[in-house]
Structure 1
Amino acid sequence: MFWFKNVMIYRLTTELVLDSQTLEAQLQQTKFSPCQQSDMSKFGWSSPLPTSELLHFSQGKQFLLLSHKEDKLLPAQVVKKETENRIATLEQKEQRALKKTEKQAIKDDVIATLLPRAFSKHQFTPIWLDLDRQVVYVDAGSAKRAEDTLALLRKTLNSLPVVPLSFNLSPSEIMTNWVAKGHTPSWLTLLEEAELKSFETDSVIRCKRQDLESEEITQHLQAGKFITKLAMEWESHFTFVLNEDATLSRIKFADEVREKNDDILKEDIAQRFDADFLLLTEELRLFTQKLTDEFGGIKERI
C-alpha cells in the first residue's frame, strides 16, 4: 500500500465522472512499457495493486492510480568525454574541423552506443482521485513531478481541469501567527523545525531541533520574517511539514494508524490493500477538512 509521504492537492473545476470499466480502457492506452535499447525514457501507468493487472484501484468514487517513469542514467560527463574523444580522432584523421551537425551526429551515436548498458531509474507516483469531493491528491515532493503525472492523466482522459487547492487565508500568515502567539489549534502540535523567510530581503532561516517559542525565533518574527515551512503533528495520526503553498511534505503516519489493519493476514494482499486505502483516504480527507476550516475555506478562482 502506498502511504503518501507528500501531498499536493488539486481541485477539479469541472465535475469529473468516471466508471471503472471506461477508466481502465483509457489507462490501457497509456500503459507503462519498459525502455527498449534506444529509449532514454518511458512514462505510463502501472498497477497500484501488485497482485492485479488492472491499472487502477477503486472504492466507490475513490480511484488510486500509479504513474511509472523509467529514465536511463547516462552521466553527462561520460557522454561528453567519449564524444570529445571521437571528434578529436576524426578531426585528426581527416585534418579538418568538424561541422556542428557532424559533432551532434557523433554525440547521438555515442548515446545510442551507451544506452543499452545504462542503468535505469524508476519513479512511481501515486495519485488519488476523490470524486466524492472532486479533489485530486498527488504524492509528489515537487510541483514538476506532480504536474508530469497530472499531464499523463490529462492525456489519458483527454481532459483534466484542475487547479492547486488554495484557501481564503494565507497559510504563511496563519503559521506565523501560530508561532508568534505560541498557540496552535487544539488538534495540532508544533515540532522543533521551521523555515522563516523575509520577503523584503529574500533571506531564509532554517531551524531544526529548535524551540519555536524561544526568544531567538520571536526576534526574527518581530523583524518581519514569515513562517514558510512548519513541522507539526496531528494528534496521534501523523507528523508532517506544512508549506506556504499548503502542500504537505515528509508525512509519517503513526504506528497506531498503520497497524490498525494488522489483523488481516499478510498473505491476503488485496484485502489488506483495500483496508489500508480506505484508512489512508479517511485520514487525508479529515485532515484536509480541518486545514480548510483553519484557513478560512477554499478560495474559488475566477
Structure 2
Amino acid sequence: MLFSNATVIKLSAPIAADLDSILNDAPFEGVSKYARSGIGWCPLVEADSTTMTRAYGERVLFCGRREEKVIPTSAVKEEVTAKVLKQESLDGQPLSSSAKRSIKDDVLAEMLPRALCKSKRIQIYHDPEQSALILNSGLENEVEDLLNLLRTSIGTLNVYRWDASASIGLFTQWLAHKTLPDQLRLGSECTLFDPESAARVTWRGQSLDATELMAHLDHGKRCERIQLIWNDHLKFTLDKHLTLRNLRLVNVDEEADEPLAGDENSPYAVLDREFALLSESLALLLPLIESTLVQR
C-alpha cells in the first residue's frame, strides 16, 4: 500500500492553486548549521528532481521532506553535568535553575553543528471531491509541520479536523455487541483502557469476541483503538482520533506483485498504480467513517 497511515484533514474549500508551481517555490534545502530541524517539498521519486506532483483524476499526490538533528539526551546530560560541576566549584556555591538552563542551551548550541540528521519523506494528497488532505503520517508534529508548510506555500489554508468525540463509545459498542456497519468487520487487534486508572490492555492476534476480552468490557474498560477490515479489501487500525494506521491490502492477487515489462514497471508507473488504488479505496472508505463516527 502506498500509505501506511492516513490522517484526514478537512478543508473549508478545495485548494485552487497550482500545486506543482507552488511546491517548486519551496523545495527542501536541508537543515541549516544551527537549526534543530528543516522542512520543504521534495520530488515524489528521489531520482527525478523535477516532478513534484502526480495526478489521478482530480486528486494530486505530492511529498514533503522533514529533517531533524539528533542529539543524544545522554550526551547532553553528561556535558551539562560536567559544566555545572565545574562552575559550581569555581563559584563555591550551587548554580540557580536559570544558570543551569543557560548552560544547557549553550551545550545544545555547541552540539547542533556536529549532530547527525534524521530524514523522513511524508506523502500527502489533495482530494477536492472530499475537500480533504490525506497525509501518510500518524504523528501530530509531522502533520502540523506539513500543514504549516503548505499554508506558507499557498498563502492561506483553512482546515479543520473530524469531531471524533463519539469514537470511543462506538468502538466499545462494536466490540461488545458486534453492531458494525455492513461494510466493516472486526480484525484481531484492539486497545482497551480503564477510564479511572488509565491502565491499558492491548489485544493482538486473537478473536475480538473472546471471553477474556468481553470480561474486560464488563468491568468497565473502553476501546480506544480497533482493527477493522473494510469490504474484505483493506485492513487498518482506527484510533480514537480517527487516524487510520497500519493500512494494508487483504486478499491481494499474487499476480499484482509480479514485475511488469518495460515502462509499466518504471517508478512512475508503479507510483501511479499505487496512488490510484489507494485514493480510490479511501474515496469510498472515508465517507463511511465520516458518516458513522464523526459528530456533526
Q: TM-score, normalised by structure 1?
A: 0.81
Q: Which residue of 1 aligns with 2:167?
A: 171
String of CA shifts for 1:255-279, please: whole Å, max 9, x gaps: 7279648546465222222222111
String of CA shifts for 1:177-231, please: whole Å, max 9, x gaps: 2222235344333222212234355443322233321222223323333322111
Cα pair 2:17 2:154 within 8 Å, conserved = no
Unaligned runs of 5+ in 1: none
After superposition, the Cα gap between the structure-2 partners of 1:184 and 1:263, relative to the gap in structure 1 and judged at 3 Å, is farther
For 1:134-283, list aligned pairs within 5 A: 134-166=131-163, 170-254=166-250, 256=252, 260=256, 263=260, 265=262, 267-283=265-281
Is 2:72 aligned against 1:75?
Answer: yes
After superposition, the Cα gap between the structure-2 partners of 1:38 and 1:255, relative to the gap in structure 1 and judged at 3 Å, is farther
> What is the DSSP-based 3-state SS (H/G/I as helix, E as strand, rest coil) of the residue aligned with 1:165?
coil
Q: Which residue of 2 aligns with 1:41?
A: 37
Deviation at 1:121, TM superposition (A): 0.6
Choose between structure 1 and 2 for higher RCO, CA contacts under 8 A separated by at least 6 residues.
Answer: 2
String of CA shifts for 1:111-163, please: whole Å, max 9, x gaps: 45433432111122211110122111111122232122111111111111111
Q: Which residue of 2 aligns with 1:11?
A: 10
> What is the DSSP-based 3-state SS (H/G/I as helix, E as strand, rest coil) of the residue aligned with 1:206?
strand
- In structure 2, distance between residues paired with 1:258 and 1:153: 38
- In structure 2, distance between residues paired with 1:172 and 1:100: 42
After superposition, the Cα gap between the structure-2 partners of 1:194 and 1:103, relative to the gap in structure 1 and judged at 3 Å, is closer
- In structure 1, distance between residues paired with 2:93 and 2:145: 44
- In structure 1, distance between residues paired with 2:37 and 2:242: 31
Cα pair 1:237 1:257 within 8 Å, conserved = no
Deviation at 1:284, TM superposition (A): 1.3
- In structure 2, distance between residues paired with 1:179 and 1:102: 54
- In structure 1, distance between residues paired with 2:242 and 2:96: 51
Q: Which residue of 2 aligns with 1:291?
A: 289
% identity of equivalent residues:
25
Q: Which residue of 1 aligns with 2:120?
A: 123
Aligned residue identity for 1:25: S
Aligned residue identity for 1:274: D
Deviation at 1:9, TM superposition (A): 0.8
- In structure 1, distance between residues paired with 2:117 and 2:111: 12
Aligned residue identity for 1:197: F
- In structure 2, distance between residues paired with 1:135 and 1:148: 17
Aligned residue identity for 1:39: A
Cα pair 1:239 1:253 within 8 Å, conserved = yes
Q: Which residue of 2 aligns with 1:28?
A: 24
After superposition, the Cα gap between the structure-2 partners of 1:26 and 1:89, relative to the gap in structure 1 and judged at 3 Å, is same
For 1:81-120, list aligned pairs within 5 A: 81-86=78-83, 110-120=107-117
CA RMSD in angstroms comes to 3.2
Deviation at 1:67, TM superposition (A): 1.7
- In structure 2, distance between residues paired with 1:299 and 1:115: 45
After superposition, the Cα gap between the structure-2 partners of 1:80 and 1:218, relative to the gap in structure 1 and judged at 3 Å, is closer
Between 1:60-69 and 1:92-101, the stretch displaced more is: 92-101
- In structure 2, distance between residues paired with 1:37 and 1:207: 45
> What is the DSSP-based 3-state SS (H/G/I as helix, E as strand, rest coil) of the residue aligned with 2:187?
strand
Unaligned runs of 5+ in 2: none
Deviation at 1:56, TM superposition (A): 2.8
String of CA shifts for 1:214-253, please: whole Å, max 9, x gaps: 2222233233333221112224422211112222111123
Q: TM-score, normalised by structure 2?
A: 0.82
Deviation at 1:32, TM superposition (A): 0.9
- In structure 2, distance between residues paired with 1:159 and 1:134: 15
> What is the DSSP-based 3-state SS (H/G/I as helix, E as strand, rest coil) of the residue aligned with 1:77?
helix
